[in-house]
Structure 1
Amino acid sequence: MTVAIRATDLVKSYSQGVRALDGVTLEVNSGEVLVVMGPSGSGKSTLIRTFNGLESLDGGALDVLGVPLDATHGERQVREIRKRVGMVFQQFNLFPHLSILDNITLAPIKVQQRAKAAAEQRAMDLLDQMGIREQAYKYPSQLSGGQQQRVAIARALALDPEVMLFDEPTSALDPERVKEVLDAMRQLAKGGMTMVVVTHELGFAREVADRVMFMDRGQVVETSDPETFFSNAREERSRRFLNQMQH
């Protein structure tokens, strides 16, 4: 099995010596869905942002799709990774002055030098896949939060990434909009996409994850299959977290 992401002893410190990442080691295999859970401030978002160079590291070794992203990496590695790793954030980060279609085709045309017609055809196919083809010529402000987040997923997929990163993609949405975004992510997982997902959505983690990794205070507390994690977590910190989330 090919390893897509290999992290060894990652360290990231903020001011006053606070360690956002304190010796994190993990592997993500190609085609695997890893869900990362943990309380606020546990280092989940910092970790996932190191996987595409948005956060720099102070120590440890990180290899993403064969590209080293450790503390000494440069811009060239980051550019290489961002062509191959898609990311979806809490906020949709769409360009308000561009149509939905133009939001999706901007990077393929500018970064990958794709022909406009081919990029637009691919964008329409992705909007179809996300169930929002009819929104192509509207602007972000005319769409609901759930629709905008599905556009953000389509935009990330337009570069044909090998890995998709999701940083709490439903946390800014109204409850009734959460399902449509999770459904789009389920479809991606079924298609064999390698995914790392930071989320508090227990049902999604239970159903879609191959493995669940629980973090607290910058450290990996435990990693297991969803069945074991949700019904028989080993660590007291994990059980306490699940108890709070379920009540």
Structure 2
Amino acid sequence: MIPAIHASGLVKCFGDHQRALDEVSLQVESGEVLVVMGPSGSGKSTLIRTFNGLESLDEGRLEVLGIPLNADHDERQIRRIRKRVGMVFQQFNLFPHLSILDNITLAPIRVQRRPRKEAEARANDLLTQMGIAEQAGKYPGQLSGGQQQRVAIARALALQPEIMLFDEPTSALDPERVKEVLDAMRSLANNGMTMVVVTHEIDFAREVADRVLFMDEGKVVETSSPDEFFANAREERSRRFLNQVM
């Protein structure tokens, strides 16, 4: 079976040749939940953004769902990948002038050319799945941060992706809103969605991740099961990080 994501020797430089990614290699299997952790500036967000072409590569080889994406940054390949990969960011990026329902149906109608009735039915199903069905007619500014992030997840799911990428999806939320977003993500994982999640949420990683990948200074320091990583991390750098966050 083709892995969902296969990366070999990824290099990404910013500024004075500082390597945000320094020979990163990894593989994510279909149906797997990979949690990516590490200190600020370790390359986590840069890595996950390469998986749908938001960041270009300087070196290395990347295949997402069997579609190659290399340093040439082929826009045709990126479009193919983005049709099959959803992403949720730190900020919600909802259109403030559109209703919640219209935010979710915009891409299915315009990009996938689905009939409005079909797109709206799926959007309502997704809002129900996210626990916010009653918010369909409201506007983003009328919702809490946690509700807006669940709308952002529903919007990504509306395109029926095969992989979901999450870039610190709870970092902009008030503490009391974090749980509702993590619960929605747990539900996705329990239903078999392939997920790569950049997060500092330790309990979520313990419970939901199949593997934890720890990064520092653009490198993969170690990859292991949650039980092994949190109880007995192999590398000293990993242990120092865990001593600070746990």
Q: What percentage of residue pairs aligned between the two structures are identical?
A: 79
Which whole-Å CA distance do the structure 1 matches of 2:203 and 2:34 have between them? 14
- For residue 54 of structure 1, give the secondary structure of its aligned residue in structure 2: coil
Deviation at 1:7?
0.1
Amino acid of the structure 1 residue aligned with 2:94: L
- The answer for the alignment partner of 2:110 in structure 1 is 110
The 5 Å alignment of 1:154-193 reads 154-193=154-193
C-alpha contact (below 8 Å) 2:34/2:213 kept by paired residues: yes
Q: Deviations over 1:108-163 (max 9, x none)?
A: 00000000000000000000000000000000000000000000000000000000
- Residue 25 (1) aligns with residue 37 (2): no
- Aligned mates of 1:9, 1:78 — CA distance in 2: 19
- List aligned pairs for 1:5-20, cutoff 5 A: 5-20=5-20
1:3 match: secondary structure: coil
Question: What are structure 2's unaligned runs of at least 5 residues?
Answer: none
- DSSP-derived class of the 2:172 partner: coil
Root-mean-square deviation over aligned CA pairs: 0.5
Q: Is the 8 A contact 2:57 2:73 kept in 1?
A: no
Distance 1:80 1:21 in 2: 24
- Give the total of aligned pairs: 246
TM-score normalised to the size of structure 1?
0.99
Are the equivalent residues in 1 in contact too, given 2:130–2:150 (CA < 8 A)?
yes
Deviation at 1:74, TM superposition (A): 1.4
Cα deviation digits, residues 48-86 of structure 1 (max 9, x gap): 000000000000000001111110131111111111000
Aligned to 1:125: 125
Normalised by the length of structure 2, the TM-score is 0.99
Equivalence map 1:1-247=2 (5 Å)? 1-246=1-246
Runs of 4+ more than 6 Å apart: none
| Distance (whole Å) between structure 1 residues aligned to residue 117 and residue 107 of structure 2 | 14
